[in-house]
Amino acid sequence: MSGTSEPILVVSESLHALPDAVAELKRCGHPVHYVEGLKPWRELAGADRSALEHAVAVVMGRVLQTDAGALAIARQLRVIALHTSGCDNVDVDSATRRGVLVTNVRGVNAEVCAEFAMALLLCVVRKVLAGDHAIREGVWVERTHSSMDVFGSTVGVIGLGQIATAFVKRAQAFGARVCVHTRTPNAALAAQLGIEYVSLDELLGRSDIVALFASLNPQSRHMIGARELALMKPSAYFINIARGELVDESALLDTLRHGRIAGAGLDVFETEPLHRSPLFELDNVVVTPHQAGLTQGAKTAAALRAVHNALQALKGELPRDALNPAAWPAAHRKTPT
């Protein structure tokens, strides 16, 4: 691509450290400005703020509060290319009205996220972390003399996107029975996977392990609250690698504190980054810092796909990952000839 004065802004905690993605941006001919961290647009200042105001494309991770007010700062913007699978951090409707295309990389890290969900499940259900702490403290098996069997258990899966589908196969490989609740049941997929679709209430009451994979939207926010948690067995475990906002965290904390379920494995939280929480005080909870998709391979693949989405849009081509193609006519008219 020939040289151009149209800048690209990268706001990310990782992309600047991924050589393949950095090299791709160096080759594109656009000047690139990096903000090395997930800083909300309104908090950018100095050269970072100026770069945002002039950017034609922003490549970014899960930068929160990218709403109509934040979008108004970037007056030249044509495309936001997320290197995450979700898009709940961006006001897509406002972006569409401004003619700003939004893309994500859904599915790029499905296998590694499913792998991590299984690891988190095993860690909390089989008391791996509790055992590690016990042996270091010299008490051997007193805290871990028994745990629930994963083999033969019933695993309830909420949501059935690409990550959940990959997780179902892993749970079945461990000998678990799987039931699923989803807004869009697919009979052919159920037959292929050997799963049963059930209502959310039935899933919660039947399952030994509940694993949450739903997408976040206004309707699904706090879909798991005090009422739903009360339907779970006292012996059951709760796993969430999807979005923290899907769960009423205060209700979950109360449920765990009072032993109304056996435990939880959590990779996501209502407030992120999370540096302090009463959850940290509970020995029936395993917490991790939103790391399910953070393998080197997955991060590189996501970053490259996001960069390609941005460059494709700037060349006047509609990326296959476009979330709001209705914005495309306006974005396309802005593309220089």
Residue 258 bears catalytic tag:
no
Active-site residue among 83, 243, 305, 308? 243
242 closest CA partner among 125, 100, 84: 84
In this structure, what are the phi and psi dihedrals at residue 150, rounded to the nearest 5 degrees?
-80, -40
In what side-by-side order are the strands of the sheet with 79-82?
A: 32-36, 8-12, 57-60, 79-82, 101-103
Active-site residue among 6, 24, 270, 272? 272
Cβ(109)–Cβ(293) below 8 Å: yes
Residue 111 bears catalytic tag:
no
Tell me the residue type at 52. L
Structure tokens at 218: 């206004």
99 φψ region: left (φ > 0), alpha (ψ -120 to 50), beta (else) = left
At a CB cut-off of 8 Å and minimum separation 6, what does 295 contact?
109, 112
Residue 272 bears catalytic tag:
yes
Cα–Cα distance measured from residue 214 to residue 242, given in angstroms and rounded to the nearest whole number: 6
At a CB cut-off of 8 Å and minimum separation 6, what does 325 contact?
101, 318
> Look-up: residue for tokens 């435990």?
263
Active-site residue among 49, 221, 290, 332? 290
The DSSP symbol for 327 reads: G
> Look-up: residue for tokens 């259900």?
125
The DSSP symbol for 318 reads: -
- Other residues' Cβ atoms within 10 Å of the Cβ of residue 131: 16
Cα–Cα distance measured from residue 168 to residue 172, given in angstroms and rounded to the nearest whole number: 6
Cα–Cα distance measured from residue 90 to residue 15, given in angstroms and rounded to the nearest whole number: 19
Cα–Cα distance measured from residue 70 to residue 43, given in angstroms and rounded to the nearest whole number: 10
Active site residue ranges: 243, 272, 290
